[in-house]
Amino acid sequence: MTSSRNAHVFLWAVPRSLSTAFTRSMESIDNVAIYHEPYGCADHYGPEGRLIPMDASPSEMQCTYDYVKAKLEDKSLENKCVFVKDMGYAVHKRYDKIAKGYKHSFLIRHPIKSFLSYYNAIVSSGADDVDGNLSHWLPEGLGYQELWELYCYLENENGKKPFVVNADDLLTNPKQVLEKYCEAVGFEYNDGLLSWDSKPKVKWNVAATVWDVDHTYNWFANSLSAGGFKRELSKPIPSIEKLPNIVQKYVHKSMPYYEKLSAC
């Protein structure tokens, strides 16, 4: 088991929840190794991936769930802090593949903000079928249901509640939230976590295909360059009636799970 000085931590999230910005923040943890969506890579692009068309070959052939688990449990990481950011849905019904020896934390965001951001990102990519594109990337439970079920599993498995961060709290009170977060997961807080510049402090461990897809959709661009957590980025929640129909549908389906996670 890792010590608090070399804590190993998962941050499980939903899409468009400031999780990439959170990862940039964690670059300031001393002696840290960062893994960006390794299970997401297995889920999307590996040979066991749910998104691979029947007539296509996986773009990340080595990226099986066992491969990811072994990589995150490698003994070479014992003397480092490790931060892994991933989507909760990426390990849905594959809980036995979650790497051992890690503390678990969760990042949530109001579904209106999350799905509207997702919708706008796909529109900006120039996709012809925006609704179809959105439904293609998201799992059956739209991310929120899978995240809640993962939370329940980990709470039952470990006998304690994982730490939950709300993205809006992070934007409005970043120092307070990050101090509590570090205390909960075993990292040593420093004020460097509050801001960053365009040059990464740490090279991330991330599959090539993940970056290649980002060039199409710009999933990460804003978070990578935002510079820090800023109160002005926490905008009011728009009225649901003004949202695209598919976003309204997804919000209604996801709200019960968001509310459950918010109460944790």
**DSSP annotation string for the chain:** ---GGG-EEEEEE-TTSSHHHHHHHHTTSTTEEEEESHHHHHHHHSTT-TT--TTS--S-TT--HHHHHHHHT-GGGTTSEEEEEEEGGGGTT-GGGSPSS-EEEEEE--HHHHHHHHHHHHHHTT-S-HHHHHHHHS-TTTTHHHHHHHHHHHHHHHSSPPEEEEHHHHHHSHHHHHHHHHHHHT----GGGGB--SS-SS--B--HHHHHHHHHH-SSHHHHHS-B--GGG-PPPPPGGGS-HHHHHHHHHHHHHHHHHHT-
Q: What percent of the chain has pLDDT over 70?
A: 89
CATH dotted code for 4-262:
3.40.50.300
Mean pLDDT within 61-87: 96
pTM value is 0.92
- Write out pLDDT tens, residues 145-186: 999 999 999 999 999 999 999 999 999 999 999 999 999 999
- Write out pLDDT tens, residues 114-149: 999 999 988 888 888 889 888 888 999 999 999 999
The predicted structure's pLDDT at residue 223: 54
Mean pLDDT within 251-255: 98
d(CA 211, CA 41): 11
